[in-house]
Amino acid sequence: MSFIEYGDTIKDGDTAVVFLGHESMFPVKVQHGTVTQTKYGVIRHSTDLIGKKYGSKVICSKGGWVFILHPTPELWTMNLPHRTQILYSTDISIITMMLELKPGSVVCESGTGSGSLSHALIRTVAPTGHLYTVEFHQQRAEKAREEFREHGVDHLVTVTNQDVCKNGFGVSDIADAVFLDIPSPWEAIGHAKSALKAEGGRICSFSPCIEQVQRTCLAMEEYGFTEINTLEILLRVYNVRTISLQIPDLGKAAEDNSGTGFDSSSPSNQGSPGVNLQQGTVQFKSGVPLKEMVGHTGYLTFATKS
């Protein structure tokens, strides 16, 4: 197993994801002799995990069961220990595409934070690319290094513990893309420009507040970046439900069905509404938006150095 290469069976030392059901899961480090407690009972690593196929169902001691999943950057994002506010997969996906990342790309990132984006970037640029990530908080930088080692991707990433606004990325004329998620990105635009290859590249800055975006855009313009474009992406998730609505009783005679306005003879297999006149209801499938959704994460500003 590693975050950049699928494996079929669970091995000692792997990071696996225990899936308990509906959006409830957690990562686990697989080790001989270790046990993991879940609400369905105990999982014994030596017998229940090691040597089993990823995607298998594991019966826990209380008879309940869980699935064991192969780790991916997306699953990691949903389950990682937060040391900072993190970026989620919706933003990560547009960042990856708009920065034109692919195997072989060299990327600079600051700050490393909890490593949510870092894992996704490493996955995309492997096996021949590299991530240079800068984090000014010493403990966080150290923790990130440890995680990359544990996940088998440390050869693809260099973590530097310094202030990107003062000292830059520690590399120059090497990057295809730069990503900034810091409180004052406008102070790092100059460093970003020198980190990017002479022949050009892409840059992205993530900021929650529009005032930060304005200063960043001005700085980008000042340093000669082109194609400056700010956008925001929002994820809407839908629950799939079968809804039944009552047909109102308007006092029509029961044998006269035409008055309901529904054609009860229509076959109800092709997703057409099922009309049940006995119960006086109509059934249909609906994608119901969640009660609450994320309304704002941050603005993403992209630009090109050419």
Partner 1 sequence: AMEESPGARIREGDCAVLKRGEVFKAVPVLRRRKIIFEKQWFYLDNAIGHIYGTTFEVTNGGNLQPKQEVEETTTETKEAGTDNRNIVDDGKSQKLTHDDIKALKDKGIKGQEIVQQLIENSTTFRDKTEFAQDKYIKKKKKKYEAVITIVKPSTRILSTMYYAREPGKINHLRYDTLAQMLTLGNVHAGNKMLVMETCAGLVLGAVMERMGGYGSIIQMYPGGGPVRAATSCFGFPKHYFDNLHEFPLSKVHSLLSGTFSTETLPSDPEDNALVEEESNGLTEEKQTSLQETEEEPTTEAPVEINQAEEQETMDINAEDVEFKENKEKENKEIVREKQMKQWERRKKLTETAALLREKNADGLIVASKFHPTPLLLSLLEFVAPSRPFVVYCQYKEPLLECYTKLRERGGVINLKLSETWLRNYQVLPDRSHPKLTMSGGGGYLLSGITVVLDKGKADSSNLEALKMEEPSPKRCKVQDLHC
3 state DSSP class of 173: coil
Q: Which is nearer to partner 1, 101 or 141 (CB)?
A: 101
- Please name every residue paired with 42 in a beta bridge, in sequence order, or none if there are none: 37
| Residues in region 238-267 near partner 1 by CB under 8 A | 238-244
Q: Which is nearer to partner 1, 162 or 228 (CB)?
A: 228
What is d(CA 208, CA 181) in angstroms, rounded to the nearest whole number? 10
Q: Which is nearer to partner 1, 110 or 216 (CB)?
A: 216
Decide if residue 19 touches partner 1 (CB under 8 A).
yes
Amino acid at 154: D
Q: Which is nearer to partner 1, 123 or 145 (CB)?
A: 123
Q: Which of 184, 257, 276, 304 binds partner 1 (CB under 8 A)?
A: 304
Q: Is 116 known as a binding-site position?
A: yes
Shortest Cβ 124–partner 1 spacing (Å): 6
Q: Is 211 known as a binding-site position?
A: no
Q: Any residues with CB less than 8 A from the CB of 180 and at least 6 apart, and which? A: 109, 110, 164, 188, 192, 203, 204, 205, 206
Considering only the stretches 43-51, 79-87, 157-165, 235-243, report the one whose residues sit in contact with partner 1 under the rule CB under 8 A: 235-243
What is d(CA 121, CA 130) in angstroms, rounded to the nearest whole number? 9
Kindly report the CA angle at 82 between 71 and 103, in degrees rounded to 5?
Answer: 45
Q: Is 244 known as a binding-site position?
A: no
Shortest Cβ 73–partner 1 spacing (Å): 7
Q: Which of 21, 51, 183, 259 binds partner 1 (CB under 8 A)?
A: 21
Q: How far is CA 284 from CA 168, 176, 305, in A?
A: 57, 50, 52
What is d(CA 14, CA 12) in angstroms, rounded to the nearest whole number? 6
Q: Which of 13, 200, 208, 261 binds partner 1 (CB under 8 A)?
A: 200
Q: Is 115 known as a binding-site position?
A: yes
Q: Give, as one character, the DSSP assignment of residue 185.
A: G
Q: Do residues 80 and 115 lie in contact, with contact meaning Cβ atoms separated by under 8 Å?
A: yes
| Residues in region 75-134 near partner 1 by CB under 8 A | 89-90, 92-94, 96-98, 100, 102-105, 120, 123-124, 126-128
Q: Which is nearer to partner 1, 89 or 114 (CB)?
A: 89
Shortest Cβ 142–partner 1 spacing (Å): 27
Decide if residue 183 touches partner 1 (CB under 8 A).
no
Shortest Cβ 159–partner 1 spacing (Å): 21
Structure tokens at 245: 């609505």
Q: Which of 86, 192, 217, 282 binds partner 1 (CB under 8 A)?
A: 217
| Residues in region 129-168 near partner 1 by CB under 8 A | none
Shortest Cβ 306–partner 1 spacing (Å): 4
| Residues in region 270-299 near partner 1 by CB under 8 A | 271, 285-288, 299
DSSP string, 3-38: TTB--SB--TT-EEEEEEETTEEEEEE--TT-EEEE
Q: Any residues with CB less than 8 A from the CB of 148 and at least 6 apart, and which? A: 115, 118, 122, 154, 156, 157, 159
Task: Pick out the residues of the known binding site for S-adenosyl-L-methionine.
Answer: 114-117, 135, 163, 181
